[in-house]
Amino acid sequence: MTINAAQIKELREATGAGVLDCRKALEATGGDMEKAAAQLREKGLALAAKRADRAMSNGVVELYSHGEGRVGVMVELNCETDFVARTKEFRSFAHELALQVAASSPTYVRPEDIPAELLEAERAKARDLAAQEGKPEKVVEKIIEGRLEKFYDERCLLRQVYIRDDQKKVSDLLQEAIASTGENIAVRRFARWAVGEVIE
């Protein structure tokens, strides 16, 4: 089967992969765009996994102002090389993360970042609530775990539902970015400010 330039261009725009990689993926899948994209994603994730021990000392700090300056966000997104950090796709991903932070007000990047004492307080709150509702003791632990999962989904950036597509989590976007670049990418930190908010 002959692969034309338009097919390669379409796959390249969808995945961010190189021309040669797109051609090979299309040839291997008989021109099937979805299968070729899946193959490129797998290849990118495998490549990133091989490089897991490499330092992520490059990246960008994305600044975003929303609502005529009423909300400000700063996100640091890291990657392995300056080459990837300068790409339009990487910068666009950093911008999407900043939009997510502005819209959804997460507090932490991932569940591991939550202080143990806060988790313990959430556990105690869930246990008290289950007791007040008269739940049987044998299901209380499941209820607590369910409430903690909901807490993670609300407060942790990577666990939140993506604001532009409720079928995806922010962690799915991160995996897509890793797959398309073939490099490890990490959200290092973020900050969100809103005019008039109470500072503790």
Check if CATH label 3.20.20.70 holds for domain 59-110+156-194: no
Locate all alpha helices (DSSP H) within the chain, ordered by sequence: 5-15, 19-28, 33-50, 82-85, 88-104, 116-132, 137-155, 170-181
pLDDT level of residue 109 (50, 70, 90 thresholds): very high
Report pLDDT digits (tens) over 172-192.
999 888 888 878 899 999 999
Report pLDDT for 141: 85
Report pLDDT for 53: 60
Report pLDDT digits (tens) over 150-159.
999 999 999 9
Check if CATH label 1.10.286 holds for domain 115-154: yes
**CA 67 and chain centroid, separation:** 23
Taking residue 37's Cβ as centre, other Cβ atoms within 10 Å add up to 21
Asked if 158 contacts 110 with a C-beta cutoff of 8 angstroms, the reply is yes
Residue 28 pLDDT greater than 70, yes or no: yes
Report pLDDT for 6: 84
pTM, 2 dp: 0.70
CA-closest candidate to residue 174, choices 154, 159, 190, 163: 159
Report pLDDT digits (tens) over 114-152.
999 999 999 899 888 888 888 888 888 888 889 999 999
The CATH superfamily holding the domain 5-50 is: Ubiquitin-associated (UBA) domain (1.10.8.10)
Report pLDDT digits (tens) over 55-74.
778 999 999 999 888 999 99
In the predicted model, what is the mean pLDDT of the chain?
A: 86
CA distance readout (Å), 173 to 4, 145, 185, 197, 198: 29, 25, 11, 29, 31
Residue 170 DSSP SS3: helix
Asked if 181 contacts 89 with a C-beta cutoff of 8 angstroms, the reply is yes
Report pLDDT digits (tens) over 44-57.
655 555 555 667 78
Residue ranges of the domains in the chain? 5-50, 59-110+156-194, 115-154
Asked if 192 contacts 80 with a C-beta cutoff of 8 angstroms, the reply is no
